[in-house]
Structure 1
């Protein structure tokens, strides 16, 4: 190794963010292993790389003793005094034992170590970048697929989009651009792995943050989201500013903002409702577009139950197809919802139109 090699390490430090000292320390450690392997040396060697010139030297570390038993580990006092008269019994002396052809081994080892450390550093930088983007939205390009996953190029890494995280009926081709939500970033033996989703409720939340400036600025707050991907979603919004309509802000002029999100989600229906700290009012809003006559909230065994009365002609709308509207409302509000029509209430107080419990959002 030479001055050019040291300059190359400095350039790597600037470009890749790998500290020069870290690389040199790693090369020295690797050279010790290489020296022991190639020259059958004992474990008491030290490798020194000159930080200016790049020259490599190997030193054997020996203890000064009266009668040496293993010359690889020990040296007599007489021999030690020829090196340094101040040495005494028990001291450690270093003797240069650099082999003649060690430069070739050093160069090869250094190349391997630097390559490995650069790869590790790049993986570390990618992991750091994407762990900070966990629970965020990203746009990538579909590269390929196998029996279970799509693989999406995010620029510096290829993310995994499982088929189970794709909306029903949604299919992608090579080079399709797709917006996804980062659900998990983890370190593996092959480098960082990024898992993404198209079905996660967080994707809907992030899309609204992108489309609605009032949400991005913090004027309007998203309180909760419930979603059945590809079919229907509900989102509860709130603002402390009395001059701002949180629902209108999310809908946008002539519905342009919410329509952009619907288009991105391939026609998924989205109900935007006003959040309220009054749970009864919130439940009534969450059952939109159904009209509610009354809501009574009770707490039983740490479980919140909302008993809802709706007009007869609104019962099927409140319940929704296969119970979807009521199910999403329960998940949005975090309470069990018991829906009755006015006639059911009058005829039989024990029967209900639908009894739903909130799903647990992951």
Structure 2
């Protein structure tokens, strides 16, 4: 321990963003343990590391009492007053007991403590950085696969893409650069565990925020997202400014903006619809690209009864009900779709009854 060691600690403080006081406090605590282990555990000692020179001093601390019961921990008032006349019972007498052979032990102990504290601080810094980025998007490089988990290198940390958060048809090859959504950051003994997702609706939302300046600056508002990852998604957008077309802003010139997002999601189809405060209009827009004849809203049951032309029924429902299902998720309304002939037949049956 010397001035060079203190300078090294100051460099670490700047490089690793760890306070030198924290490091020195940890070193002092470790040196106390090292001293007790080598020179007697029954003593009450204090270790002091000089902040300027790096010199170490060990002090034996004993309580000043009228009657001594344990001489290792206590000293009589008379004996203490020989050293300094103004001592009183209840004071603490400190005597320097720094051993000559303590330097090598101190150096080894200090090195171990510093290395450990650096690791802890780096893990803590990484955790703090990424926990503040939950619900955000990150770009990383695929490193390896383990038990169907895909590990992504984020530069400062490694994150995991679990099987449930992977898009079924996607292939994640080593070296691929991908964007993912931070679902959760956990603190563990081995450092922060960062959980990513490629299926979360938040990924689609954040991609549009990154790609569309009007969403980023608040001119266009992304109201809701419905997603079946890898297949198809719908988003509802709105603008308070009459001269701004929210759908056109998201599509971009020649479809460039939405195409960039489609490419990032490996071909996932995206429907962009205009949000409306009128549930009937919103439901009609959400069923796009199908044309709608009429929408009847039942506020009590929160059901939208939709009538479409006969030739548009399959388009409105979609393959395996996908279009209707996404529209229901997007609007938060139950949607009952019928063709014109079905609606007419139902009306005739009601009249007959």
Shorter-chain TM band? over 0.9
By how many angstroms is 1:345 displaced? 1.5
The match for 1:32 is 32
Residues 257-277 of structure 1 deviation map (CA, whole Å, 9 limit, x = unaligned): 111111111111110000011
Question: TM-score, normalised on structure 1?
Answer: 0.93
Aligned match for 2:302, one of 283, 301, 304? 304
By how many angstroms is 1:89 displaced? 2.3
Kindly tell me: are residues 78 and 154 of structure 1, through their superposed partners in 2, closer, same or farther at Cα, counting changes over 3 Å?
same
Residues 278-308 of structure 1 deviation map (CA, whole Å, 9 limit, x = unaligned): 11111110011111111122233xx522111
Distance in 1, matches of 2:252 and 2:20, equals: 53
C-alpha contact (below 8 Å) 2:236/2:273 kept by paired residues:
yes
C-alpha contact (below 8 Å) 2:226/2:330 kept by paired residues:
yes
C-alpha contact (below 8 Å) 2:303/2:335 kept by paired residues:
yes
Query: How do residues 50-61 of structure 1 correspond to structure 2 at under 5 angstroms?
Result: 50-61=50-61
Aligned match for 1:343, one of 341, 344, 348? 341
By how many angstroms is 1:43 displaced? 5.5
The match for 1:19 is 19
Kindly tell me: are residues 180 and 37 of structure 1, through their superposed partners in 2, closer, same or farther at Cα, counting changes over 3 Å?
same
The match for 2:7 is 7
Residues 13-44 of structure 1 deviation map (CA, whole Å, 9 limit, x = unaligned): 11111011111111111111222222223262
Q: Unmatched 5+ residue regions in structure 1?
A: 352-362
Q: Unmatched 5+ residue regions in structure 2?
A: none
By how many angstroms is 1:69 displaced? 2.1
Residues 301-335 of structure 1 deviation map (CA, whole Å, 9 limit, x = unaligned): xx522111111111111111111111101111112
C-alpha contact (below 8 Å) 2:286/2:330 kept by paired residues:
yes
Distance in 1, matches of 2:102 and 2:302, equals: 76
The match for 2:330 is 332
Question: TM-score, normalised on structure 2?
Answer: 0.95
By how many angstroms is 1:349 displaced? 5.5
Q: Counterpart of 1:67 in 2: which secondary structure?
A: coil
The match for 2:241 is 241
Query: How do residues 166-245 of structure 1 correspond to structure 2 at under 5 angstroms?
Result: 166-245=166-245
Query: How do residues 56-135 of structure 1 correspond to structure 2 at under 5 angstroms?
Result: 56-135=56-135
Distance in 1, matches of 2:179 and 2:88, equals: 72
By how many angstroms is 1:211 displaced? 1.8
Q: Which piece of structure 1 moves more, 115-124 or 41-50?
A: 41-50
**Deviation >3 Å, runs of 4+:** none
By how many angstroms is 1:236 displaced? 0.5
The match for 1:356 is none
Q: Counterpart of 2:171 in 1: which secondary structure?
A: coil
Kindly tell me: are residues 332 and 150 of structure 1, through their superposed partners in 2, closer, same or farther at Cα, counting changes over 3 Å?
same
Kindly tell me: are residues 227 and 22 of structure 1, through their superposed partners in 2, closer, same or farther at Cα, counting changes over 3 Å?
same
C-alpha contact (below 8 Å) 2:43/2:72 kept by paired residues:
no
By how many angstroms is 1:348 displaced? 2.2
Aligned match for 2:318, one of 312, 317, 320? 320
Distance in 1, matches of 2:255 and 2:295, equals: 30
The match for 2:264 is 264
